[in-house]
Chains A and B, each alone.
Chain A
Amino acid sequence: MHGRPLQSRFIASLTASLFVNPVSWLLPSPNFALAAELPLDSSNGRVDFENLHDRSDELRPEYEPDFGLLDRSIIGRQSGEANPIEKNKPVVFNVAPGVSRCYALSRQDLLAGDDDDEDDSQRRNELRDLENGSDGNGSERRRARRQGPSDVFVSATTCVQPDLVNADADNKDPPQLRLLAAKPGATQCPEWMPERERPAKSDPGYYEEYKFEEGLVFKALSAPSDGPLYVSIYGPETSDDFEGDYNFELAMSTKDWYHRFVLDVEGSKQLLWMDSDSSAALLLTHNLTGADTDTEKILKRDPPFELYVENREWPVFNGIRRSLCGIEKKALISANKDGSGRAHELVRTSMTTRGGGDLPKQQFYFEGLNSSSNYNAILVQVADASEYDYFYDGDTQSKRQENGNGRQMTIFEPTAFETLTGRSPEFKLACIFTDKTRNYMQSHHRSRLLHRNTARRPRQQRSRRTRTS
């Protein structure tokens, strides 16, 4: 009786093991789990850490701290960290004196599709080549397209500059901003160095420095064949006479500059002061076109120019005369497209054909000015991102790119005008006794309507034209 439980147990376990062991032998040998799967470099067997990084992340190789409440100057100087910038998308930012801010236009963005028109025409050319059987030109064009544009049009304007706090300062204008452009093929942001310590041309840190002129810089930089284009905006150190930061607007494009300045052609000015009395003044622009067949078309469009005026007794345009974002903040009287500028009720603008050749031009009529005052007026040609705004360049008209933001501008030299004294009899400007009287009165009336209805302008009602039209 006592031998039986032991025996049964033994037999039971033996049976069980006889069943289990073959099963375990038959199963495949297990692998040990590895902590990491490393791609082994076949050449030398060492681990290649470089390949672990994502290639598309070349712009941000390091961690960039971003604390919403604290601004950059507290966290630390921007030491070579590039901020991405896109084509045709202007960026606005602050830069403190002594600090620079770096931007990089990536190669992908540089090559990104331009106007569909261009692509369409390219494709048409390619298809035509294939039909004809000739492949010579087609492949060349394809190669050119892959290489991308050779120039990048970089432009920047100063929107705000440090304020003068010491009225007795010798130099009442703060220093101009600087644009630093790294050479093509550079792999890092250009860092500003004083003259003596500047890197040599062969140095990877080499850069070209361009000083803003009256708040504007516009340069065509060579597009790098590989890698991004690095530019920095540097705010120079200011003396204790000034306080505050700089604020700038930077834009890059492969079509044309976003911001540019055009010198008056010898013997003609873009904006003319016609006449004035003790409280009114009339200014006319140059003809918008030399071809009278375009007159009707141009008269139907919105006036393309804006005007900003300062009183020469209290000049506010010094240092920023060529910057639209600068003068629109400081102007005494602004005639902008929205009709929302300061003291805009003092000025009316409209298109007219009066005065010389029946060609279209824009007129600005001021009323309610102070007598015996001297003014400076700066004319700016502005195109919005709306497709109905055209850019006049002499006789050629280039349509603004639809995917662009911001306001593309061409700015001109200032025109001085003054009002007469109030002591003499009051003079009034009148337009009478001519065939064009009716036209003037109409345009005058239209300008009033334009002004009043600006806020309610039915832009949305316009149907979008197709690209082929």
Chain B
Amino acid sequence: MMQIPCEADSTSKYSLTRDCDQCKVAYKKWLCAVVIPRCEDWASNNTFAIPRNVGQPFPNGTFVDELEGNKNNTQSMTSVPGYNASRNAFIDETIAPGPYKEILPCHEICYEVVQSCPAVLGFNCPLKGMTAFQYSYGTSESAPFVTCQYPGQPRTIVSGAGEMMPSVKIVLIMASIGVCMAAM
């Protein structure tokens, strides 16, 4: 960002509707959402949360395979790279919480970075339907669950009209992100 002319006049700026501060905020929000996943209980019945780290054992030593033994999908789960690891290797290696379910970040978080930051950074987002989108981002759906993780979104289900979405002017800086840690 040091190389982007942020203080220039309107003819030289990279965008007339966004500035560098908004880019920084949007990027930070994306980085937090992606690096620190929002976790759910393994026992959660939230169909929009995807399993992560299924290859590791639970804190009590059991494996997902044993747990879901009578279900046929155990083999396929560990073979899917998206399920077998966390997005952030630090979690699997250092924290090692065992299998968990993640509520994926909303895809708007990624698009905001594209919208707010200069194109020269080369930041791109997958669209729904593209390969591996379903392991990276979630979409807002009307369901009795939290379908995708947006900073500041409460677990209390409010109707669509009440959902908090960022406006162009208001900078939404949120700080409620779940971090998974092993229970020792």
Contact = CB atoms under 8 A, between A and B. Distances in A.
Interface of A: 266-269, 271-277, 282, 284, 354-357, 415-417, 420-437, 440
Contacts of A426: 181-183
A36 B174 CA distance: 87
A429 B178 contact: yes
Contacts of B43: 421, 423-424
A417 B181 contact: no
B172 A424 contact: no
Interface string B62-86: 0000000000000000000000000
Contacts of B28: 433-435
Contact of B152 (A268, A276, A355): A355
Contacts of B173: 434-436
A82 B137 CA distance: 68
Contact of B176 (A269, A422, A431, A435): A431
B5 interface: no
Contacts of A354: 174-176
Contacts, number: 119
A437 B175 CA distance: 7
A265 to B, nearest CB: 8
Interface string B123-150: 0000000000000000000000000000
30 contacts: A266-B162, A268-B158, A268-B162, A274-B154, A274-B155, A275-B38, A275-B178, A277-B178, A356-B172, A417-B155, A420-B40, A421-B41, A422-B183, A424-B43, A424-B58, A425-B182, A425-B183, A426-B181, A426-B183, A427-B39, A427-B178, A429-B176, A431-B175, A432-B32, A432-B179, A433-B175, A434-B32, A434-B173, A435-B25, A437-B175
Closest 8 A/B residue pairs (Cβ): A426-B183, A267-B162, A272-B154, A267-B161, A431-B175, A425-B97, A434-B175, A268-B162
A267 B183 contact: no
B117 to A, nearest CB: 17
Given A275-B154, A284-B154, A430-B177, 19 more contacts: A267-B162, A273-B154, A275-B178, A276-B155, A357-B172, A417-B155, A420-B44, A423-B41, A424-B41, A424-B43, A424-B100, A425-B100, A428-B179, A429-B176, A431-B177, A432-B179, A433-B31, A434-B28, A435-B173
Nearest to B160: A267
A427 B31 contact: no
B144 to A, nearest CB: 12
Contacts of A356: 152, 164, 172, 174
Given A268-B162, A269-B156, A273-B156, A357 B182 contact: no
Interface string B20-41: 0000010010011000101111
B42 interface: yes
A282 B174 CA distance: 14
Contacts of A277: 178
B180 interface: yes
B181 A425 contact: yes
A15 B41 CA distance: 129
A441 B36 CA distance: 19
Main secondary structure of the interface of A (DSSP, over half): loop
A273 B182 contact: no
B174 A355 contact: yes
Contacts of A436: 173, 175
B175 to A, nearest CB: 4
Contacts of B42: 423-424
A281 to B, nearest CB: 9
B156 A415 contact: yes
Contacts of B36: 432-433
A275 B178 CA distance: 8
Contact of A355 (B60, B162, B176, B182): B176
Contacts of B58: 423-425
Nearest to A272: B154
Contacts of B60: 423
B146 to A, nearest CB: 9
Contacts of A435: 25, 28, 173
A427 B179 contact: yes
A201 B172 CA distance: 59
A357 B175 contact: no
A273 B155 contact: yes
B122 to A, nearest CB: 23
A429 to B, nearest CB: 7
Contacts of B178: 275, 277, 427-430
B94 interface: no
Given A421-B43, A424-B41, A434-B28, A266 B159 contact: yes
Contacts of A266: 159, 161-162
Contacts of A276: 155
Contact of A434 (B39, B170, B174, B179): B174
Nearest to B33: A433
Contacts of B152: 355-356
A414 B3 CA distance: 52
Contacts of B177: 430-433
A282 B176 contact: yes
B98 interface: yes
A401 to B, nearest CB: 34
Contacts of A428: 178-179, 181
A273 B97 CA distance: 25
A90 to B, nearest CB: 32
B180 A425 contact: yes
A366 B170 CA distance: 29
Contacts of A423: 41-43, 58, 60
B45 to A, nearest CB: 12
A372 to B, nearest CB: 9
Interface centre among A269, A355, A437 (most CB of B within 10 A): A355
A353 B32 CA distance: 19
Interface centre among B97, B161, B172, B173 (most CB of A within 10 A): B173
